């Protein structure tokens, strides 16, 4: 039996499809560039919609029941489209498991779908340092972290992520992390990448989300700082000898950077 019906799944799981929403009022503040689509339509820059997309989900998605519960809860949130796509989350969980990660960082938690996703596959003494500035979003997912029995693996830091990363570096945690997921304000993506690169061990992985930015990277406008920032990081990564990379057309595009 299919786990999803297509329209709901497109609205829920692909999260980033459609034209990226460039501005939004979130918790009384304007966040120009967090990464989500404007419509619930199945319009996609990578064609992931309709029966074939449903087939992919039906034949690959293995979602923990509480993770599914959080995804369905998040979908009904006004900013539900910010959530990472479920297929991408599963890839990240598989990578975290494959490299036997113990310490991971998430920059941009939202309701904590991917935080839970990673915590579920970490060993009991593993840790997710979960960075966000909006506690109201996180409050939605927190009870489900507890229900899943992984709350003790999640170290939530409510403050600007740059500050958390600087604190981790200052407390001597450079080169101690295995995996990082960068998915917050896009203007800061280069800074997040540079700091994560220092925090990650050799052999560790950094996943950078929204690298295609609904196609805007093809023609970055000068006044569009988010697109400029993503595009510059994409160009830099191509030549960055400190990492090997793969840019995947999953969700709104995700680059995996493997630290050498």
- Taking CB under 6 A as the criterion, the residue among 91, 133, 205, 233 binding ligand SAM is 133
- Taking CB under 6 A as the criterion, the residue among 87, 183, 224, 252 binding ligand SAM is 183
137 binds ligand SAM (CB under 6 A): yes
Q: Which run of H or of E encompasses 244?
A: strand 243-248
32 binds ligand SAM (CB under 6 A): no
The residues, any chain, with a CB within 8 Å of residue 194's CB and separated by 6 or more, are: none
131 binds ligand SAM (CB under 6 A): yes
24 binds ligand SAM (CB under 6 A): no
Distance between CA atoms of 108 and 208, rounded to whole angstroms? 11
| Helices 86-98, 50-58: crossing angle, 10 deg rounding | 30
Least distance in angstroms from the C-beta of 22 to Ca ion? 14
The residues, any chain, with a CB within 8 Å of residue 189's CB and separated by 6 or more, are: 182, 208, 229, 230, 233
Residue 239 corresponds to which tokens in the numbers above? 């030549």
Q: Which run of H or of E encompasses 7?
A: helix 6-12
Q: Toward Ca ion, which CB reaches closer, 33 or 210?
A: 210
Which 95-114 positions form the footprint of ligand SAM (CB under 6 A)?
108-110, 113-114
Q: Which does 113 bind (CB under 5 to 8 A by kind): ligand SAM, Ca ion, none?
A: ligand SAM
Least distance in angstroms from the C-beta of 254 to ligand SAM? 11
- Taking CB under 6 A as the criterion, the residue among 161, 197, 226, 250 binding ligand SAM is 161
Distance between CA atoms of 148 and 127, rounded to whole angstroms? 15
Q: Which residues bind ligand SAM (CB under 6 A)?
A: 31, 34-35, 82-84, 108-110, 113-114, 131-134, 137, 160-161, 183-185
């Amino acid at each position: 039996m299919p786990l999803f019906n297509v329209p709901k799944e497109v609205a829920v799981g692909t999260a980033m499809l459609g034209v990226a929403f460039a501005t939004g009022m979130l918790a009384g503040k304007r966040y120009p560039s967090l990464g989500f689509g404007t419509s619930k339509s199945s319009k996609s820059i990578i064609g992931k919609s309709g029966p074939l997309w449903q087939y992919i989900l039906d034949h690959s998605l293995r979602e923990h029941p509480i993770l599914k519960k959080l995804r369905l809860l998040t979908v009904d949130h006004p900013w539900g489209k910010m959530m990472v796509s479920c297929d991408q989350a599963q890839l990240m969980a598989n990578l975290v498991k494959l490299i036997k990660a113990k310490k991971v960082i998430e920059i941009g938690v939202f309701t904590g779908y991917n935080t839970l996703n990673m915590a579920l596959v970490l060993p009991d003494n593993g840790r997710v340092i979960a960075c966000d500035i909006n506690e109201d979003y996180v409050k939605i997912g927190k009870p489900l972290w507890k229900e899943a029995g992984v709350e003790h693996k999640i170290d939530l830091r409510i403050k600007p992520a740059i500050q958390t990363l600087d604190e981790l570096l200052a407390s001597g945690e450079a080169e101690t992390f295995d995996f990082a997921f960068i998915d917050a304000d896009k203007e800061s993506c280069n800074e997040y990448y540079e700091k994560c690169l220092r925090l990650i061990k050799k052999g560790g992985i950094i996943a950078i989300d929204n690298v295609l930015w609904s196609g805007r990277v093809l023609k970055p406008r000068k006044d569009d700082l988010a697109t400029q920032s993503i595009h510059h990081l994409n160009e830099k990564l191509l030549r960055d000898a400190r990492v090997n990379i793969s840019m995947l057309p999953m969700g709104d595009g995700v680059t995996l950077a493997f630290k050498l």
